[in-house]
Structure 1
Amino acid sequence: MATIKDVAKQAGVSVATVSRVMNSNGYVNENTKKKVDAAIQQLNYKPNAVARSLYKKTSKTIGLMVPDIVNPFFPELARAVEDTAHKLGYNVVFCNTDENAEKEEDYLEILLQKYVDGLIVASNTLTAEKVKQLNIPVVSIDRKINADIPTVVVKNKSGAQKAASFLKEMGCKRIAHLSGPEHIDNAMERRAGYLEEVGSEPWFDASYIEDGNYEMKTAIKATLQLLNRHPEIDGIFAGNDVMAIGAIKAAHQFGKKVPEELAIIGFDGIALSEATTPELTTVGQPIYDMGTIVADLLVKLIEKKPVENTFYELDVELIERESTRNV
Structure 2
Amino acid sequence: MAGQKIKNMDELAKVSSISRPTLSKYFNDPESVRKTTRQKIETALEKYDYRPNIFAINQNRKLTKTIGILVPYLADPFFAEIARRIELSCIEAGFWPTVFSAHGEQELENNALATMQSLRPAGALIAPLGRRSDFEAVRRFAEDVPTVVFDSNVNVGEAFVGHDNFQSTELIVDYLCRTGEPPCFFEMPPLNPNANKRREAYVMAMENLGQTPEIVQVDGASWEFEQIGLEGGKRLIEQRALPSNTVLCSNDRLAIGLIAAAYQKGLRVGHGPECAMRIAGHDDHPWSRYTCPPLTTVSQDYSSIADRSVEILFDLINGGNKYQSRVETLFKGNLVLRSSA
TM-score (norm 1): 0.83
Task: Find out whether 1:287 has 2:289 as its counterpart.
Answer: no
Matches within 5 A, 1:153-168: 153-168=162-177
Task: Find out whether 1:139 has 2:148 as its counterpart.
Answer: yes
CA distance in 2, matches of 1:187, 1:211: 15
Identity of aligned residues (%): 24
CA distance in 1, matches of 2:39, 2:180: 75
Q: Which residue of 2 aligns with 1:4?
A: 9
The 1:46–1:210 alpha-carbon spacing in structure 2 relative to 1, beyond 3 Å, is closer
Query: How big is each residue's C-alpha offset from its partner over 1:107-145, in whole Å with a ceiling of 9 and x where there is no partner?
Result: 122222222222111111152664344511111110111
The 1:144–1:10 alpha-carbon spacing in structure 2 relative to 1, beyond 3 Å, is same
CA distance in 2, matches of 1:83, 1:92: 8
Query: How big is each residue's C-alpha offset from its partner over 1:81-115, in whole Å with a ceiling of 9 and x where there is no partner?
Result: 11211111122211111221111111122222222
Give, in angstroms, the shift of residue 310 of structure 1: 2.9
Q: Which residue of 2 aligns with 1:103?
A: 108
Aligned partner of 2:228 among 218, 221, 235 = 218
CA distance in 2, matches of 1:281, 1:188: 21
CA distance in 2, matches of 1:209, 1:18: 63
Q: Which residue of 2 aligns with 1:30?
A: none
Query: How big is each residue's C-alpha offset from its partner over 1:290-320, in whole Å with a ceiling of 9 and x where there is no partner?
Result: 1121122222222227899932111101111
Provide the secondary structure at the position in 1 that maps to 2:319.
coil
The 1:39–1:219 alpha-carbon spacing in structure 2 relative to 1, beyond 3 Å, is same
- Is residue 64–residue 93 contact of structure 1 (8 Å, CA) maintained in 2? yes
Query: How big is each residue's C-alpha offset from its partner over 1:225-247, in whole Å with a ceiling of 9 and x where there is no partner?
Result: 33324355211111111111111
CA distance in 1, matches of 2:263, 2:17: 77
Aligned partner of 1:176 among 165, 174, 184 = 184
Matches within 5 A, 1:209-288: 209-210=217-218, 215-227=225-237, 228-230=239-241, 233-259=244-270, 260-288=275-303
- Is residue 220–residue 247 contact of structure 1 (8 Å, CA) maintained in 2? yes
CA distance in 2, matches of 1:218, 1:147: 30
The 1:301–1:230 alpha-carbon spacing in structure 2 relative to 1, beyond 3 Å, is same
Task: Find out whether 1:186 has 2:204 as its counterpart.
Answer: no
Query: How big is each residue's C-alpha offset from its partner over 1:199-253, in whole Å with a ceiling of 9 and x where there is no partner?
Result: 58676555x3445666000011222333324355211111111111111111112
Query: How big is each residue's C-alpha offset from its partner over 1:3-39, in whole Å with a ceiling of 9 and x where there is no partner?
Result: 43335445778xxx62266338xxxxxxxx9997686
Q: Which residue of 2 aligns with 1:320?
A: 337
Report the aligned-residue RMSD: 3.1
Q: Which residue of 2 aligns with 1:28?
A: none
The 1:138–1:126 alpha-carbon spacing in structure 2 relative to 1, beyond 3 Å, is farther
CA distance in 2, matches of 1:156, 1:322: 23
The 1:96–1:7 alpha-carbon spacing in structure 2 relative to 1, beyond 3 Å, is closer
Give, in angstroms, the shift of residue 147 of structure 1: 6.3
Q: Which residue of 2 aligns with 1:65?
A: 70
Aligned partner of 1:196 among 204, 209, 217 = 204
- Is residue 239–residue 266 contact of structure 1 (8 Å, CA) maintained in 2? yes
Unaligned 5+ segments in structure 1 are 25-32
Task: Find out whether 1:22 has 2:28 as its counterpart.
Answer: no
Q: Which residue of 2 aligns with 1:78?
A: 83
Of stretches 196-205 and 265-274 in structure 1, the one that deviates more from structure 2 is: 196-205
Unaligned 5+ segments in structure 2 are 27-33
Q: Which amino acid aligns with 1:235?
A: T
Q: Which amino acid aligns with 1:171?
A: G
Task: Find out whether 1:43 has 2:53 as its counterpart.
Answer: no
CA distance in 2, matches of 1:322, 1:162: 17
Q: Which residue of 1 aligns with 2:127?
A: 122
Provide the secondary structure at the position in 1 that maps to 2:287.
helix
CA distance in 2, matches of 1:21, 1:71: 41
CA distance in 2, matches of 1:58, 1:114: 11
CA distance in 2, matches of 1:202, 1:275: 31
Provide the secondary structure at the position in 2 that maps to 1:152.
strand
- Is residue 234–residue 262 contact of structure 2 (8 Å, CA) maintained in 1? yes
